[in-house]
Structure formats: structure tokens, C-alpha cells
Amino acid sequence: MITLRASAAYGYEGKQYLARITGRDPKFTFRREFIGRKSGKRGETTEADVDTPGLYLECDVDKKGKEESFRLVFEHEGELRALYMKKENAMIVARRIDDGERLSGIVKFVTEGAELRYVLIDKPEAKPDQTPTDKAIENCWSILQALPSKEIENALTALRMKAGV
């Protein structure tokens, strides 16, 4: 479990927040799902325990304004870890989440000596002649491949019935 924290200086209590980034937003840059609970004598701290991999935003507030920190929470070798991420990279990750990609297909983690860091994986290029139907068939097939052959037959029969064919 990873504990995220955001704080506010005296006079700015309650303006700090924590959020899970769920994609891009045209007005606010990021689509956010707010998390955490405020605590402290004046509500100057927000904390959340996180056990779900994803991209998170910690927003601290003081007299100089807001300071946003992006945290990438992920599982590495069976252990939940967190790394800070630059805003530019967070925007790329959020856009790719909007495109339907999973976090595991967007970032990979490499160890250099004792240091663990993330690397953005290049976005796979779509085949130019691929139609939406081809793409849907490819997605379905990638899911069905994990099933035994009898289960694949059952799933295809169920799809035909659902389509009325």
C-alpha cells in the first residue's frame, strides 16, 4: 500500500487535494477522480492509502500557489511501488489512457544499479488499412486466445446468437 499526502499552508486549508487521473480533460487538463480524506486541526492535510496501480496527482497549496506532483503507482516484482513523473509525461500517459491503453502498455520499469525508473513505451502504430471491424476482430481474438479451444467455440456461438446471426 502506498500513502499519498497533500498539504496546505495556514490560510489555504481545504484547497489541497489528491486525485487519480483517469484521462485528459479539455478544460482542466486532466480528468480526475478525487480521493482521500482531509485531517488536521484545520483540514490542512489530505491523505489516501492507495493499492491500485495508476497515475495520481498530489496538489499542495501555499501562498505561492499550487504545486502539483504526479505519482505513478505500479506493481514491480510483486511489490507496490511509486515514482514521481513529470507533468509532460503525465499528459502523455493520460492521453493514452483515453485511447484505451492499459498502464502496462504505456510504461515499463527498468532497474539501473539500485535505482528503479520508468520509461514510456512507444505507442504501437495502427495499420493504415485497418478498418474498425478489423480492429474489433483483432481485439476479440486477442481475448479469445487465452481460452481453451472448446471455450472459444462456445464464446463464438454466444456472439452469433447475440448478433442474431
Mean pLDDT per 10-residue section of the chain, whose length is 165 residues: 93 92 92 92 91 94 93 89 93 91 86 86 67 79 79 86 82
Domain housing 81 = 2-120
Instruction: Give the pLDDT of residue 122.
Output: 86
68 neighbors 57 (Cβ within 8 angstroms): yes
Q: Is 127 contained in some domain?
A: no
One domain for residues 55 and 94:
yes
C-alpha 60/C-alpha 48 separation (Å) is 14
30 neighbors 94 (Cβ within 8 angstroms): yes
Instruction: Give the pLDDT of residue 141.
Output: 78
Q: Is 126 contained in some domain?
A: no
Q: Is 91 contained in some domain?
A: yes
Instruction: Give the pLDDT of residue 93.
Output: 93
